Amino acid sequence: MNEILNEITLFSVVSLGAIGGVAAIILFLVAQKFKVIEDPRIDQVEELLPAANCGGCGLAGCRALAEAIVKAESLEGFNCPPGGSDVMQDIAKAMGWEAGETTPMIAVLRCNGTREQAPPKVRYDSAMTCAFAHALFAGEGGCPYGCLGCGDCVLACSFDAMYMDKETGLPVILDDKCVACAACVKECPRNIIEMRKKGKKDRRIFVSCINEEKGGVARKNCKVACIGCGKCLKECKFDAITLENNLAYIDFEKCTLCRKCPPVCPTNAIHELNFPVRKQKPAETVES
Amino acid sequence: MEKLKTFVMGGVHPPENKLAEKQSILRLDPPESVAIPLSQHLGVPAAPVVNKGDEVLAGQLIAKGEAFISANIHASVSGKVAKIDAVIDSSGYRKKAILINTEGDKWTDGIDQDESLVTDYDLDSKEITRRIQDNGVVGMGGATFPSHVKMMVPKGKKAEYLIINGVECEPCLTADHRLMLEKGEEIMVGITLQMKALGVDKAIIGIENNKADALEHLERLAEKYPAISVQGLKVKYPQGAEKQLIKALVNREVPSGKLPIEVGCVVHNVGTSFAVYEAVLKNKPLMERVVTVSGTSVKKPGNFMVRIGTPVITLIEAAGGLPEDTGKVINGGPMMGKALNDLNVPVTKGTSGILIFTEAESKRPPEQNCIRCARCLTICPMGLEPYLLAQLTDKKRLEECEDERIMDCMECGSCLYICPSGKPLLDHIRVGKTRVGKMIRERAG
């Protein structure tokens, strides 16, 4: 009896061992054949990225950016908006490359058509989605360029950097939370939100309007619309302001933040943010 | 009478509310000023041929449609061109329009203003099409597709049937109904003209049996025209849609993304047939149309023959003024129409009705969660899955939207009407269609 048992045990051990051995060899060969050689630097770079997966760099998440950076062997043309300059410096140090200086950007709402400035003429009665409202009509205030106030941008923000101000009906961008991923820029059906240079001490000057209608028409709907009068153009000594289609635009690359243009704007359409209060005759600007 | 026909797939039965069906068409005097939009048709906007300050006569060409799919636009009143400027139109946005201040009512010499019926003509197909094109006739059902383009059958295709749409399946609207009753003979002559232009020998007029008087009237008139038959249809929305009407009348299905000519059919509205009659035999451009003004709160609901470019408010005043508790003013029918955000919007070639809803009527039900009842699937006349299209649009999965045939949606609004959870399904799908359309155009380069 014992002998038979021993025999079965022996047979099992030997045969299973043999099968295991053969399988191991096959697996080894297959693994050699289909081996994926991955640059260990990709993991290294990914480690340094903020893991927000926001898509602000234009690629599908942080891993994709890391792969692209390692493949290109340089940091030129790559930017991680949430990480900013610091992260790029870190990556450069770890990889032993040169890192260019990246300018920190921030989302800026270029509309100041609050309920008070652009009083609603009709009532919108459908799902609160800007995409629907944009397809239906010019907006409660009547401005075909203005903010619709349904908050698609707020929903698109994955950093809690925006909220809807119930009183004004406009979204508010929080300076300290915005990482310039531009998700809101893509979401807005009217392209009201623009990525602009964050500026020294977070100071920014911009035309808070994108209305290209003639001055009179724009003004009829909104008291703070840019009417394309060109006064700011004459005031600017740095050629930073251009006037096209009845709309002034301040180039943030050229603007020196000299604060000459906001006071001359007859409709207070030019906003300055985070500046100290003016001593004489403070301009009545409403911070958006 | 023969058995009533209808289409098979989907459809709904909204309350008809045809309040103005007994009111005969009332011709309104030309308004003090008109704003005539340059884009009143599908396709490329017309290019103005008059300048500010020019004196124009009613019926004079003021903008020329030069592209293949475009239509001429004529002055609807005589007077001085005040300016060419952007005015708010029914889209809710400002669009270019020609504004004319009315002075008197002088018509151009070419127009035969005599009301008497003309039945004899000796014109060939080319000449008929040319006159339709010159006089700016477009589809009067609401889609405003330039009529002369439909008359040109593409090479390799052959038209067998001319289908005349007298369905008027939208609730509340009665403009076509009244036109059939009052201008039946003219419509018949118009149909013969259209048949000649197309080179077909069979025409079918489809009329829903809630318009029994019109059905009877046209059946009697059709006895004189052996080529034209009249077919009664069961009441079902959206039977007035091209593809549904073809299915109901000749039992053919237009393939996805194709035009009716694919199955040998060309569909025209009764209003278009009347406009064709006037354009070809009276040389009168499309400068007037019948508009229904209706609503439960309206004092005098009615059907009005008005000049193109008349402000909507003038029409409302003719119907007894704007009621106090008005919630919405709708341009078009209650199912497919659109709320206006300004009452000075001009009447265009495609305006079939102005509906006034009270505050209570215009309220949308609160939106709740989808309960997976699949009613939107059962009623969709195109066999689509509205709930799915809405969700895919929300998630921006546009390729899948395209695979689910979102572009086949004709925006009839049945899904939105039937949804027990009050979901604005059609609004989602409209946004989806715009996005998918953009994607397809980008892909094509």
Reported as a single tens digit per residue, the pLDDT across A236-249 is 999 999 999 999 99
Mutate to test the interface with B, among A122, A129, A137 (most CBs of B within 10 A): A137
A139: nearest CA in chain B? B92
A144: nearest CA in chain B? B93
Which residues of A are less than 8 Å from B430 in CB distance? 132, 135
Domain hosting B165: range is 125-281
- State residue A288's pLDDT score: 44
Q: How far is A270 from chain B (nearest CA, A)?
A: 25
Domain boundary among B281, B315, B343: B281
- State residue A51's pLDDT score: 87
In a shared domain, residues B387 and B254: no
With H, G, I as helix, E, B as strand and everything else as coil, classify residue B123.
Answer: coil
> What angle separates helix B184-198 from helix B270-281, to the nearest 10 degrees?
80
Which residues of A are less than 8 Å from B332 in CB distance? none
Which residues of A are less than 8 Å from B86 in CB distance? 213, 217
Would you list the domain boundaries of chain A?
40-95, 105-273
In a shared domain, residues B275 and B149: yes
Answer yes or no: is B189 within a domain.
yes
- State residue A159's pLDDT score: 87
- State residue B250's pLDDT score: 93
Please answer whether residues B240 and B170 qualify as being in contact, where contact means their C-beta atoms are separated by less than 8 angstroms: yes
Which residues of B are less than 8 Å from A125 in CB distance? 328, 339, 362-364
Whether residue A127 and residue B93 make contact (CB cut-off 8 A), yes or no, is no
In a shared domain, residues B277 and B408: no
CATH for A105-273?
Answer: 3.30.70.20
Answer yes or no: is B341 within a domain.
no
Answer yes or no: is B227 within a domain.
yes
Domain boundaries A40-95, CATH class = mainly alpha
Residue A1 has pLDDT above 80, yes or no: no
Sorted by sequence, the CB contacts under 8 Å of residue B436 that are 6+ apart come out as B398, B401, B402, B406, B407
Whether residue B427 and residue A125 make contact (CB cut-off 8 A), yes or no, is no
Q: Total structural domains in chain B?
A: 2
Summarize the confidence of residues A232-260 as an average pLDDT: 91
Answer yes or no: is B144 within a domain.
yes
Q: How far is A280 from chain B (nearest CA, A)?
A: 42
Kindly report the backbone phi and psi dihedral angles of residue B82, in degrees, each rounded to the nearest multiple of 5, phi listed first.
-75, -50
Domain boundary among B243, B261, B281: B281
A127: nearest CA in chain B? B424
Burial per residue of A45-63, b for 16 or more beta-carbon CB atoms within 10 angstroms, e otherwise:
bbebbbebbbbbbebeebb
> Residue B107 has what DSSP assignment?
B
What whole-number percentage of chain A has pLDDT above 90? Answer: 39
- One digit per residue, the tens of pLDDT, for chain B of length 445 reads 567 899 989 999 999 999 999 999 999 999 999 999 999 999 899 999 999 999 999 999 999 998 999 999 999 999 999 999 999 988 888 999 999 999 989 999 988 888 888 888 888 999 999 999 999 999 998 889 999 999 888 888 899 999 999 999 999 999 999 999 999 999 999 999 999 999 999 999 999 999 999 999 999 999 999 999 999 999 999 999 999 999 999 999 999 989 999 999 999 999 999 999 999 999 999 999 999 999 999 999 999 999 999 999 999 999 999 999 999 999 999 999 989 988 999 999 999 999 999 999 888 888 899 999 999 999 999 999 999 999 999 888 999 999 999 999 999 999 999 999 999 999 999 999 999 999 999 998 7
In a shared domain, residues B132 and B246: yes
In a shared domain, residues B266 and B382: no
Mutate to test the interface with A, among B393, B427, B433 (most CBs of A within 10 A): B427
Whether residue B86 lies within 8 A of chain A, CB to CB, comes out as: yes
Domain boundary among B281, B312, B334: B281
Sorted by sequence, the CB contacts under 8 Å of residue B427 that are 6+ apart come out as A126, A127, A129, A132, A135, B416
Reported as a single tens digit per residue, the pLDDT across B325-355 is 999 999 999 999 989 988 999 999 999 999 9
User: How many CB atoms are closer than 10 A to CB B189?
Assistant: 22
Which residues of A are less than 8 Å from B367 in CB distance? 127
In a shared domain, residues B257 and B392: no
- The residues in B 414-433 lying below 8 A from A, measured between CB atoms, are 424, 427-428, 430-431
Answer yes or no: is B196 within a domain.
yes
Reported as a single tens digit per residue, the pLDDT across A147-202 is 999 999 999 998 899 999 989 999 999 988 888 888 899 999 999 999 998 888 88
- The DSSP-derived string for B45-78 is PPEE---TT-EE-BT-EEEE--SSS---EE-SS-
Which residues of B are less than 8 Å from A129 in CB distance? 427, 431
pTM of the full structure: 0.85
Whether residue A137 lies within 8 A of chain B, CB to CB, comes out as: yes
